[in-house]
Amino acid sequence: MEAYFAGGCFWCINMPISLIEGVKKVIAGYSGGDEINPKYEDVKKQLTGHRENIKIIYDENIVSFGEILDVFLLNVDPFDEYGQFIDKGHSYTLAIYYNSEIEREIAYQKIKEIEEESNKKVYISVEKFKSFYEAEEYHQDFYLKHKDEFKKEMEESGRNDYLKNK
């Protein structure tokens, strides 16, 4: 099975999703826009309509879409309508791209639960999946290949502090 989530910086959301038992692979890429084969610099500059996104390949006999979505939601700030942490603009906003009505229903149910528990508006777009473009090789498994730079990104972005206080 495959799932597609935009969680701001794809480097930062890749790691916690990769650690889920039953997740076989997480691929950094771009979704949501109409441009074919977008490039990182153009996505980052808000020129393509795409978001930084991850493609999650998983074994549905081990982990469900809903369980993966729960981990995703624990690692993002659902109340930021402008992006995630220091990364602002459409390409860093949150989205769940669904492949079936069941996934769509699960996504809306989770959003509803967060809003009811927090009494705050959640800014997560729920959209029908239309395309995924794999990001440049440099971005794949960034947290493993560039450990010091990844650690610095997590600290300087404010994501680590947010997660500690969640």
Q: Which of 9, 12, 95, 107 is catalytic?
A: 9
Q: What percent of the chain lies above the pLDDT cut of 70?
A: 100
pTM above 0.75, yes or no: yes
Q: What is the CA radius of gyration of the chain?
A: 15
Q: Which of 4, 11, 69 is nearest to 32 (CA)?
A: 4
pLDDT at site 166: 79
**Which CATH superfamily includes the segment(s) 2-156?**
Peptide methionine sulphoxide reductase MsrA (3.30.1060.10)
- Convert the pLDDT of each residue in 87-120 to its tens digit: 999 999 999 999 999 999 999 999 999 999 999 9
Q: Is 12 a catalytic residue?
A: no
Reported as a pLDDT band with limits 50, 70 and 90, residue 43 is very high
User: Domain coordinates of the chain in residue numbers?
Assistant: 2-156
- Whole-angstrom CA distances from 61 to 22, 71, 115 are 8, 17, 30
Cα gap 136→26, rounded to integer Å = 14
Q: What are phi and psi of 157, to 5 degrees?
A: -75, -20
